[in-house]
Structures are given as structure tokens and as C-alpha cells.
Amino acid sequence: MEFVNEFRVPVPINQAWEVLTDVERVVPAIPGAQLLSVDGDNFTGTVKVKVGPITMQYKGNASFEDKDSSAHRAVIRADGKETRGQGNASAVVTAELKDEGETTSCVLTTDLTISGKAAQFGRGILSDVATKLIGQFAERLEADLVAPPSSETPTESPRTLSAAPQSESGASLDLLGVVALPIAKRVLPVAGALAAGLAIGYLLGRRR
């Protein structure tokens, strides 16, 4: 199934592209996400998503199938497995930035495939969750963009960035200040895509 979501960031398109292709800035902004490793265009991570009493924890990998910095378009493929056996999710997310002068809008088109328990769900809840996640992500990213990290400090590997689900923008900044890494920053856009790809898949079958 396909979803289209959109969010806006308060910076010009080139800056937006730079930030959104920077895994370490983008992943902490995804509610409940944790980056486990980055290797060039490939990265692994987990995303914990709550929908009411249900928590789904997806662990998986994602990679860029395409990055076009002149067209400001990227395609990311993500595959995740729910850690408690509730199924798999895979997604191909296309992110397109649109120049709006002082702001940039990002349109995410997600093509999602769900298997296992989650496959009984209708697109309603999936779409709802994706929209909510992306909304929260956009808020955090915006807060981060308003006050970017100061300097880069080397850290030991493996790098792990945890995004506490209730982190304020201040906490995000701390994380970024500490863990900014000398790693290929030309990778990856759209934490939103990652979130959408890894997180969707819970919905309960409408049992009677």
C-alpha cells in the first residue's frame, strides 16, 4: 500500500538536503528510533512505536537506492523484522524536497509491504501512525535546525544514538553535540522514511 506524507522545514532547500541526508541528525528526531550502525549508504537501526497499548519494535536495515542532490530526491529501501515475532515490514520511500525559498517542503511517498500478524491491518491505522510519526519527526527536526550542533567531537565506535521518545530539542542537541561523527554525511535522507518503513505494521485485525 502507498502513503503520501508531507512535512516542512524552516530552512532553504540546500540546507534541508544536507540535514536530511545526515543520518546522525535525522535519526534522533524520529520518535523511538535508534541508529545502530552506519556503513556508507547502508545503516541498521531499531524503531519502537507505540499505538495505544501496543508497542511494536522493528529492527532492520535500510539503504539508499538513489540520491540525487541536484534534483533533491532520494529513494530509501528499508526492511525490518518485529522483534517479538509480529511480522515483517518493508518499504521503499521516495523523498522529494521542494524549494519554497526560505522553507523547504518534503514529500514522502511510501510503498509499504507488511507480512505476518500486521498484515491484517487496514491502511487507516498504518496511515494514521505514519502521519503522526512524521509530524513528530518534523517538529523535532525543526527544533534541531533552529539551533544546530556546535562542533564535531570524535566518539568511540560503535556509535549508538538513542532518541528518547520524550526528548526535548535540548536533549537532541546534547546527543548531537556528543556524538557527531566523522562519517560520510552524504547519506541518507528521511528519517521519516525510515520511521515509516520500520514502524508501520501494527494494527490489530478487527477481532470479534
Partner 1 sequence: MKAASFDYHRPESVDGATRMLAELGEDAKILAGGQSLVPMLALRLAFFDHLVDISQLDELKGIERRGDDVWIGAATTDAVIGDDEQISSAVPLLTRATPFVGHFQIRSRGTLGGSIAHADPAGEYPAVALALGASVEAVSPGGRRTIPATEFFTGVWETALEPGEVLTGVRFPVWTGRRGFAVQEFARRHGDFAIAGTVVAVALDSHDRVSRCGIGLLGLGSTPRRASKAEAAVVGRSVADLTGDDIGELAMSDLDDIPSDLQGSASYRSRVGAVLVARAWAEAIEEATTEATNA
By CB under 8 A, name the binding residues for partner 1. Answer: 51-55, 84-86, 117, 120-125, 127-129, 132, 202, 204-208
Instruction: For the CB of residue 124, give the shortest distance to partner 1 in the complex, in Å.
Output: 4
Instruction: For the CB of residue 86, give the shortest distance to partner 1 in the complex, in Å.
Output: 7
Instruction: For the CB of residue 52, give the shortest distance to partner 1 in the complex, in Å.
Output: 2
Task: Give the nearer residue to partner 1 in terms of CB position, either 52 or 101.
Answer: 52
Task: Give the nearer residue to partner 1 in terms of CB position, either 67 or 117.
Answer: 117
Contact present, 58 and 33 (Cβ < 8 Å) = no
Task: Give the nearer residue to partner 1 in terms of CB position, either 37 or 55.
Answer: 55
DSSP result, 7-56: EEESS-HHHHHHHHT-HHHHGGGSTTEEEEEEETTEEEEEEEEEETTEEE
Query: Percent helix, strand, coil in the chain (nearest 5)?
Result: 30, 40, 30
Task: Give the nearer residue to partner 1 in terms of CB position, either 182 or 208.
Answer: 208
DSSP state at residue 84: T
Task: Give the nearer residue to partner 1 in terms of CB position, either 70 or 166.
Answer: 166
Contacting residues for 85 by C-beta, under 8 A, at least 6 apart: 116
Instruction: For the CB of residue 61, give the shortest distance to partner 1 in the complex, in Å.
Output: 24
Strand order in the sheet with 42-51: 2-9, 103-115, 88-100, 73-82, 54-68, 42-51, 33-39, 161-162
Instruction: For the CB of residue 170, give the shortest distance to partner 1 in the complex, in Å.
Output: 20
